[in-house]
Amino acid sequence: MDLFCPLPKSNYPHVLLAHGGGGTLMHQLLKRVFLPAFANDALRQNHDSAVLDLNGTRVAFTTDSYVVRPLFFPGGDIGALAVNGTVNDLAMSGARPLALSAGFILEEGLAMETLERVVGSMQSAAEAVGVPIVTGDTKVVDKGKGDGIFINTAGIGVIEHSLHINPRQIQAGDHILVNGDLGRHGIAILAVREGLEFETTIASDCAPLADCVLQLIAAGIEVHCLRDLTRGGLASALNEIAETAGLSMALNENSIPVREDVRGACELMGFDPLYVANEGRFAAFVPAAQADHALEILSAHPLGQGAALIGQVTPKAVAPVLLQSRIGATRIVDMLSGEQLPRIC
Amino acid sequence: MDLFCPLPKSNYPHVLLAHGGGGTLMHQLLKRVFLPAFANDALRQNHDSAVLDLNGTRVAFTTDSYVVRPLFFPGGDIGALAVNGTVNDLAMSGARPLALSAGFILEEGLAMETLERVVGSMQSAAEAVGVPIVTGDTKVVDKGKGDGIFINTAGIGVIEHSLHINPRQIQAGDHILVNGDLGRHGIAILAVREGLEFETTIASDCAPLADCVLQLIAAGIEVHCLRDLTRGGLASALNEIAETAGLSMALNENSIPVREDVRGACELMGFDPLYVANEGRFAAFVPAAQADHALEILSAHPLGQGAALIGQVTPKAVAPVLLQSRIGATRIVDMLSGEQLPRIC
């Protein structure tokens, strides 16, 4: 992939797979169709959750649909993903998740056993984070008009601290942490989809991040922004935040944790791990003075074992995100162009 | 349709269209798959919204997916439906709608113009009820794995009174009101789908019911239960409530408002208007002593012009819902069996 050659900025007359890929085209769709229509302050926060005031309580509200293919993969399935993904979106506002909704769009002919397995997995994931699924809906579409199971979950959470965690809070000098190695979810999906076999099974990192985040906040870390690194990977997430904040970021490739087997699989298939989707990984932006403490807290958490300091926020530079590569050169890390792996979540 | 011949109660190994139809099979799916897995008190309320306590504020939370076919129909489209439907689910708990989420599942190849038209319609509907769409998500699935546009909306609302509006609150003697004539949404969809032409265009009743409901409550009507009459129509909604409450209902066919053109279309096509879906109609259960006052308030509202008192709650009888027909005979009104009109909402 040539990062210096973005797709033409022209408007497309039809929806492409890449409009759902978390990269440039998805952001064009947001900016051209959704944001102008649904103009309101909450949506313009440009964050994973909207934050609303409810009689003095700050409430986070978010939604995601899940269309991952195949439904089951090493390390997870669409049910676990639908719970953890929405829990994570709430966590990225620093909210304690309170309740989830579940909307199912089933394709006529789906095996009831498959549905039961997915629903069971959702409940296990929901129990593991202590967040009940309190309301739901089921629709069925004709055979050939769906693809087994699509799930939408929405979530509400409560913000129980005084921080305002969103992209506009980051400052030049902030340190950027991630909670572990990158790229496993995308490679796990790809491997099972394409029937690839590696020496070891690469399992998705799919996991709920709320506890990990709430521990950072409870320890007094003045978290400025959080973002889970799903569609479009680390590269797209950081570009989006940098653009919203009007700042840049300088990353150090040597510090970005990628497992050897994942790196090997990426090289084999021509992927860049910075663009591969994760489902249990997030970036945290914290004041430089608190970075070591934050890293300690993350590393002590079961979901932060491979946590690392990967770079810093800088004043606006030639591009939103710059990477000092392993050989010492500096390159621009652009937002994902086109579609790397459709239907990854 | 033979109402006295329910489908066999056996389990189906595959999902059928009727599992999304709002009738017997959908309730079997709920009871057999979803409720046992997601066991929690909020879900067991068996109502359109879950009601949660949030630092002393009662919050209603609900979700619905919309897969209506075709996307545009007389009186509405999937966008207006997705806003009004979820606003109505909140209203049925007596909540003031506060915010909506919107999750889109788009099929590759969808005309961008169609998406823009639907999104514009959602925004118009959202503005009309004063409820912003504050958070969203877009996924794209391969051509042939979706059907143009599926939309999920979730909604949160605030309950600003002390009533507990749900099926378990109804009492023998309660009067049952509806806010207008039944069956227009289903017949409007069917007509455009099948290319049928009637003397007059039958337009969907698609409309937001929150204001109408809040006026009832503001006037001091002690509303016991509310239910919008969507998939499965009046018959399925009343059966569900009667079963949850352990009571029965006696309806008077003469009082149930159905427009002549809708009745004619139903007769022509072998439908019973009691089972046809509405998207701007609800049943209200109120104490007998307040029924006249409630009917007055409804009738004065633009969305209650054809309001009527259609029956009463009785102690448990031979069946959940009994109807005194126009010729004076009494018949059982069962829950919808099978599927009358798939993908009606």
What φ, ψ does residue B14 adopt, rounded to 5°? Answer: -130, 160
Specify whether the CB–CB gap between A92 and A227 falls below 8 A.
yes
The structure tokens 């549905």 sit at A115
Q: Give the CA radius of gyration of chain A.
A: 19
Q: Are B20 and A118 in contact (CB under 8 A)?
A: no
Would you call A80 an interface residue with chain B, using a CB distance cutoff of 8 Å? no
At residue B199, the pLDDT reads 76
The whole-angstrom separation of Cα A236 and Cα B318 is: 62
Is the pLDDT at B216 greater than 70? The verdict is: yes
C-alpha distance from A106 to closest chain B C-alpha (Å): 8
Q: Is the dihedral of CA A131, B19, B33, A116 positive or negative?
A: negative
Please list every residue in chain A whose beta carbon sits closer than 8 Å to the beta carbon of residue B64: 103, 137
pLDDT band for A212, please (50, 70, 90 cuts): very high
Q: What local confidence, expressed as pLDDT, does residue B133 receive? A: 97
Residue B1 pLDDT: 30
The band of A40, judged by pLDDT with boundaries at 50, 70 and 90, is confident
Chain B residues with CB-CB distance to A230 below 8 A: none
pLDDT at residue B24 above 50?
Answer: yes
What are the pLDDT digits (tens) for A281-294?
999 999 999 999 99
Total-model pTM? 0.95
Answer whether residue B5 shows pLDDT above 80.
no
Residue that the structure tokens 């009743």 belong to: B205
Question: Mean pLDDT across chain A, nearest whole number?
Answer: 94
Average pLDDT over residues B210-229: 98
CA-angle at B99, arms to B94 and B101, nearest 5°: 120
Backbone angles phi, psi at B15, to 5 degrees: -75, 130
pLDDT at B7: 41
For range B15-22, the mean pLDDT: 92
Per-residue pLDDT for A77 more than 60?
yes
Give the number of other CB atoms < 10 A from CB of residue B327.
6
Q: Which residues 278-317 of B have a C-beta within 8 angstroms of A? A: none
Pick from B12, B15, B93, B119 the residue to mutate for testing the A interface (most A CBs within 10 Å). B15
What's the pLDDT at B43? 83
Closest CA to B241 of B226, B231, B254, B255: B226
Q: Is-contact A32 A51, C-beta < 8 A?
A: no
Instruction: Note the pLDDT of residue B8.
Output: 43
Q: What confidence score (pLDDT) does residue B9 get?
A: 45
pLDDT band for position A341 (cuts 50, 70, 90): confident
Tell me the three-class secondary structure of chain B, residue by residue: CCCCCCCCCCCCCECCHHHHCCCHHHHHHHHHHHHHHCCCHHHHCCCCCEEEEECCEEEEEEEEEECCCCCEECCEEHHHHHHHHHHHHHHCCCCEEEEEEEEEEEECCCEHHHHHHHHHHHHHHHHHHCCCEEEEEEEEECCCCCCCEEEEEEEEEEECCCCCCCHHHCCCCCEEEECCCCCHHHHHHHHHHHCCCCCCCCCCCCCCCHHHHHHHHHCCCCCCEEEECCCCHHHHHHHHHHHHHCCEEEEEHHHCCCCHHHHHHHHHHCCCHHHCCCCCCEEEEECHHHHHHHHHHHHHCHHHCCCEEEEEEECCCCCCEEEECCCCCEEECCCCCCCCCCCCC
Closest Cα to residue B292, out of B275, B307, B272, B271? B307
Kindly state whether B138 is in contact with chain A, defined as any CB-CB distance less than 8 angstroms.
yes
Residue pair B298/B213 in contact (Cβ under 8 Å)? The answer is no
Band of the pLDDT at A6, cuts 50, 70, 90?
Answer: very low
Looking at residue A221, its pLDDT comes to 98
Q: What is the pLDDT of residues B282-314, one digit of tens each?
A: 999 999 999 999 999 999 999 999 999 999 999
Tell me if chain B has a CB within 8 Å of the CB of A111: yes
Would you place residue A74 in the very low, low, confident or very high pLDDT band (cuts 50, 70, 90)? very high
pLDDT at A5: 34
pLDDT of A230 strictly over 70: yes
What burial letters (b/e) apply to B165-194, b meaning 16+ CB within 10 Å? bbbeebeeebbbbbbbbbbbbbbbbbbbee
pLDDT at B254: 97
User: B254 Cβ partners below 8 Å, 6+ apart?
Assistant: B326
Question: Which of A14, A133, A156 is nearest residue B38 as measured by Cβ atoms?
Answer: A133
Peptide bond into A315 cis (omega under 30): no
Contact check, Cβ <8 Å, A152/B152? yes
Q: How far is A280 from chain B (nearest CA, A)?
A: 19
- The DSSP result for A88-99, as a single string, is HHHHTTTPEEEE
Q: If you measure CA to CA, which chain B residue comes closest to A19? A: B140
Which candidate, A199, A66, A83, A206, places its Cα nearest to that of A134? Answer: A83
Instruction: Supply angle C-alpha B50, B51, B55, rounded to 5.
Output: 140
Closest to A257 measured CA to CA, from A285, A217, A229, A288: A229
User: Residue B337 — pLDDT band, cuts 50, 70, 90?
Assistant: confident
Q: Give the span between the Cα atoms of A17 and A20, in whole angstroms.
A: 6
- Between chain A and chain B, how many beta carbons pairs sit less than 8 Å apart? 277
Within an 8 Å CB–CB cutoff, is residue A163 touching chain B? no
pLDDT the model gives residue B194 = 85
Q: Give the tokens for residue A71.
A: 């439904």
Interface of B with A in 1-40 (CB under 8 A): 11-21, 26, 29-30, 33-34, 37-38, 40
Q: Rg (Cα) of chain B, in Å, rounded?
A: 19
A103 and B142 within 8 Å at the Cβ level: the answer is: no
Q: How far is A315 from chain B (nearest CA, A)?
A: 29
B154 close to B49: Cβ distance less than 8 angstroms: no
Q: What is the rounded average pLDDT of the residues A30-35?
A: 91
**CA pseudo-torsion sign A140, A144, A146, A149:** positive
